[in-house]
Amino acid sequence: MKFAVMMLIAGSVSASSQIFAPENQSLWSVSMDNQKFKELEAEDKALGKDMEKFYNSHHAVQLEGKKLQKVFHKKMVKIQTRLGKTGAMLDSPQYKAELHAIGAKMQALDLKVKKALKWDAQGLKMWKLHMNNKKFKEIVADDEAIKQDVKKFITSHPKINSELGALSKEIEADFQDVGQRLKKTGDMLGSPKYKAELEAIGAKW
Give the pLDDT confidence of 30-72 residue by residue, as tens digits. Answer: 666 677 777 778 888 888 898 999 999 999 999 999 999 999 9
Higher pLDDT, residue 60 or 26: 60
According to the model, what pLDDT value does residue 127 have? 64
Question: Is the entire prediction scored with pTM above 0.85?
Answer: no
Number of H helices, E strands in the chain: 7, 4
Distances (CA, A) of 100 to 95, 103, 107, 138, 198: 8, 5, 10, 22, 50
Q: What band does 160 get if pLDDT is binned at 50, 70 and 90?
A: very high
CB atoms near residue 81 (< 10 Å): 9
Give Cα 100 to chain centroid, integer Å: 23
- For the cut 50, the answer to whether the pLDDT of residue 83 exceeds it is yes
**Per-residue pLDDT tens over the stretch 110-123:** 999 888 877 766 55
Helices (H), 91-157: 93-116, 133-155
Distances (CA, A) of 174 to 66, 72, 81, 167, 179: 19, 10, 13, 11, 9
